[in-house]
Amino acid sequence: MKLRDAMLVAFRGLTRHWVRATLNVLGIVAGVASVIMLVSVAHAVSSTAKASVEGLGANLVVVTPSGPSSSGIQRGIGGTSSLTRSDADALSNPANVPDAVQAVPSAGVNENVVAGSHVWQTDVLGSTPGFGAARGYTLSQGLQFGPAAINAAQPVVILGQTVAREVFPTVNPIGQTVLINTQQFKVIGEYAPRGYSGTLNQDDLVVMPITTLWDEVLPGNLSQIQQILVQATSPSTTSNVAAEVTNTLLRQHQITDPALADFTVQTQQDLVASAERVGTVMQWMLGAVAVIALLTGGIGIMSLMLATVGERAYEIGVRRAVGASREDILGQFLIEALLLAVLGAIAGIALGYGGATFMGDVLTDLPAPVITGFAILIAAAVALVIGVGAGLYPAVRASLLQPVEAVRRQ
C-alpha cells in the first residue's frame, strides 16, 4: 500500500465520520489552547518583571530593607524600614564606596495627583537630585530640584509625561500647582518620554524631594527609605560596589555576621536573573497544569478510538478480506490518530492565540499575554505525542482482529 493511499484511506475514515472525529479532536483542542494561554500569561508576567528591573537604569546596585533583622525575625510589609537617611549619606560618601558615582535613596506611595477637575492616580516618588541620572530620566522642559530643595523640603514636583498629559491636557504644566494628599506642590519640571518597558509605563510617575515626601505626603512615617540605588562607575565595577555597600551598611547597622544583615544588596544582573528564574518556574508550572489538561484530552481520544475499533470491526474485516494486512490497518488507525492530533493542535493553537489575545484585552490588570514560539512548540509537540500515543493501543487492537471474526460481526 502506498503512503499516499494510506493517508487517503485515513482521511476518508475521518471525514465520513466527522462527528466522531470532531468529538475526538475537542480534547486536544482544549488542551493545546490552555497550554498556549497559560504559558503566554506566565511569560507576560515574567517579562514584565524583568523589564521593570531592566528599566531601572544602567550599572545599578539596589539596596532594599529586607532580610532578617538583628533579632532574626523577618520584617513584614509595613514594618519599619531598616534603611535610614544616614545610611544613604554613608553610601554617598566616596570614602565608603569609592567605585560609586552616587547613591540615590527613594521612597514612594500611590496617590492621586489633582489639578482643577483632573485627577490621576500615579506613583509619587521622593528622591534626590541624582534620581534622573540613576534611572535614566532626562528633563524635556523645566528644572531639576537641587540639594537646596532637599534640605528645605521644598514643595516642588517633576511630572512624568503621562501624568503631565492627564492632569494638564491643555496647558503647559511648568509653573502650575498640583494637589497631592491635600498639599500644594509647584511643577518645576517635566521628564522626556521613556515609553513602556514591557508593560510598565515608565512615564506614569511624579518625583519630588524625598524630604518633601516625608514631610508633606507621608507625615509621621519616620523618614523611611524603601530603596537606595547605588550607581557604579561602570558595569565591571558593580560587584565591587555591591561589596563596598554591604560592608558600609553592616558597619552602619553594627552587624558583625553578614548572614544577619537586615538589608539586601543586589546588582541589576542579580535582579534580572531572579526575575527570569521566577518567570521560568511559573511558565513550567502553568505549562504542567496545561499538559495535564492535554493528557486528559489524550485519554478521551484513546477511549473514543477504542470504542471506534469495536464499532468498525465490520469495516476492518471487509478491508482485511480484500487484502489489507495487519500493518495496513495499524497504519490507517495510527494515521487517523495523527491527523486528529495535527488538526487538534492547529485548532488549539488558533484558539489559544485568540484566547490569549482576548484575555489581554479583557483582563487589563494583567500584563498582556505574550504568545511565544516556545508555548506553541510545546503544545504542538505534546499534542502529537499524546495523539499518537492514544491512537497506538486502539490501532494495535484493530490490527489484531481476525479477518473472519470481523466479517462475522456484521
Partner 1 sequence: MIELASVGRTYGSASAPVTALRDVNLVIQRGEFMAIVGPSGSGKSTLLNLIGCLDQPTSGRLLFLGEDTSTLNDTKLSRIRNRSIGFVFQMFNLVPELTVYENIELPLVYAGVTRERRALTTKVLERVGMDHRADHPASLLSGGEQQRVAIARALVNDPALILADEPTGSIDPDSAEQVMELLGELHDQARTIVLVTHNMSVAAVAQRVVRIESGTINEIGAAVRPDDRAAAAAVMPAPDWTPLR
| Residues forming the site for partner 1 (CB under 8 A) | 1-2, 4-5, 8-9, 12, 16-17, 314-315, 317-328, 402-404, 407, 410
Q: Is the dihedral of CA 331, 334, 338, 343 positive or negative?
A: positive
Q: Which is nearer to partner 1, 204 or 315 (CB)?
A: 315
Nearest approach in angstroms of CB 397 to partner 1 is 15
Task: Name the residue with cell 472525529.
Answer: 21
Other Cβ atoms less than 10 A from the Cβ of 19: the count is: 7
Residue placing its CB nearer to partner 1 in the complex, 119 or 404: 404
Beta strands in 7-81 (DSSP E): 60-64
The answer to whether residues 194 and 136 touch, using CB atoms and an 8 Å cutoff, is: yes
State the minimum distance, in angstroms, from the CB of residue 398 to partner 1: 14
The whole-angstrom separation of Cα 77 and Cα 162 is 29
Nearer to partner 1, 164 or 335 (CB): 335
CB of 298 to partner 1, least distance (A): 26
Per-residue H/E/C for 289-310: HHHHHHHHHHHHHHHHHHHHHH
Q: How far is the CB of 388 from partner 1 (least distance, A)?
A: 23
Query: CB 50 → partner 1: shortest distance, Å?
Result: 54
Query: How far, in Å, CA of 69 to CA of 76, rounded?
Result: 11
Name which of 148 and 321 has its Cβ closer to partner 1. 321
Burial class (CB in 10 A: 0-12, 13-18, 19+), 151: exposed
* Distance in angstroms (rounded) separating the CA atoms of residues 61 and 38: 33
CB of 315 to partner 1, least distance (A): 5
Separation between Cα atoms, residue 247 and residue 156, nearest integer Å: 35
Q: How far is the CB of 16 from partner 1 (least distance, A)?
A: 4
Least distance in angstroms from the C-beta of 305 to partner 1:
17
CB-nearer residue toward partner 1: 194 or 319:
319
Beta carbons within 8 Å of 164's beta carbon, 6+ residues apart = 173, 190
Closer to partner 1 at the Cβ: 15 or 234? 15
Nearer CB in complex with partner 1: 4/182: 4
- Give phi and psi for 113, each to the nearest 5: -110, 125
| Partners of residue 126 on adjacent β-strands | 107, 208
**Pairwise CA distance, residues 125 & 94, whole Å:** 25
> Cell 489581554 sits at which residue?
360
Is 215 or 315 the residue whose CB approaches partner 1 more closely?
Answer: 315
